[in-house]
Amino acid sequence: MQFARVNDIAIHYQVIGGPADKPVLVFANSLGTDFRIWRDVVVRLAGDFAILLYDKRGHGLSDVGQTPYSIEDHASDLIGLLETLEIKKAIICGLSVGGLIAQSLYQQRPDLVSALILCDTAHKIGTAETWNSRISAIEKDGIGSMCDAIMERWFTPAFRRPENTAYNGYCNMLERQPVAGYIATCAAVRDADFTEVAKTIAVPAICIVGNQDGSTPPDLVKSLAQLIPNARYEIIRDAGHIPCVEQPEALTAVIRAFIDFALHGEKSP
């Protein structure tokens, strides 16, 4: 396992080497998960690109650090990690809150970003009322009390079958996240609004969404794509909020096609 001290916290990360003439791909995961959600995408991309995976503060094996958080704090951690690893420029692929982090990273340090892959995310996610209600419920009864409701947004009914042992595993992943880190990140998402930032994005960008996403539905993700100049928009069939788990092959194909476009422009099919 690899760890780096960034902004006075330990960040858990993994680097997978790749060709020096190809872009570095950075994956930022969703609320209540760690970087293992990207496994089935990464195994399809490894060897063709250098890859950086990491657990944001308050998640996985990274420190919780001081709360409360902002999305800018999360982005600052990623900036520090990129600087520590001497990564000068990367394609940032962010899922849900990871997509907010990607937008904040672009706002703070556009020089580090060569392209954006924004999965199941938006310029603004949810309302203060819905986030405050979730925070109150978890403070009172723990993350487990919200598990069923969250999983309905994360995954399709086909994935949530009782006999699907992977579904049990993702429930465990959610419930075992640090409560303080989860709540602090809920508040960070609640307070984030990148509507104006999205309009300024000047690198190639694509917005991707599962057609059954219950957290950031297709129309919301499409509204983000419409804010970003010249952004592409793609729907992944038979997927909820986390298509890298449910439809990794389809998501990988979209990512590959977009990277080809980002590198070669209109020469790409």
Region 205-225: what's the mean pLDDT? 98
What's the first-to-final CA gap in the chain, in angstroms?
Answer: 39
pLDDT value, residue 266: 55
Report the percent of the chain where pLDDT is more than 90.
97
Tell me what pLDDT residue 269 has.
Answer: 37
| Two tokens, residue 29 | 């995961």
Tens digit of each residue's pLDDT (9 = 90 or more) over 22-52: 999 999 999 999 999 999 999 999 999 999 9
pLDDT in tens, 227-264: 999 999 999 999 999 999 999 999 999 999 999 999 88
pLDDT score of 263: 87
For 60, the 3-state DSSP assignment is: coil
Give residue 265's pLDDT: 78
CA torsion 116-8-88-20 (nearest 10°) is -90
Q: Which residues lie below 8 Å from residue 46, measured CB to CB, with a gap of 6+?
A: 16, 18
Rounded-to-integer distance, Cα 235 and Cα 257, Å: 14
Joined together, the tokens standing for residue 185 give: 């990140």
Is the confidence at residue 136, as pLDDT, over 70?
yes
260 contacts: CB under 8 Å, gap ≥ 6: 268, 269
Q: Where are the domains of the chain?
A: 2-267
Architecture category of domain 2-267 in CATH: 3-Layer(aba) Sandwich (3.40)
Cα distances (Å, whole numbers) of residue 255 to 19, 44, 74, 114, 258: 17, 11, 24, 14, 5
Mean pLDDT of the chain: 96
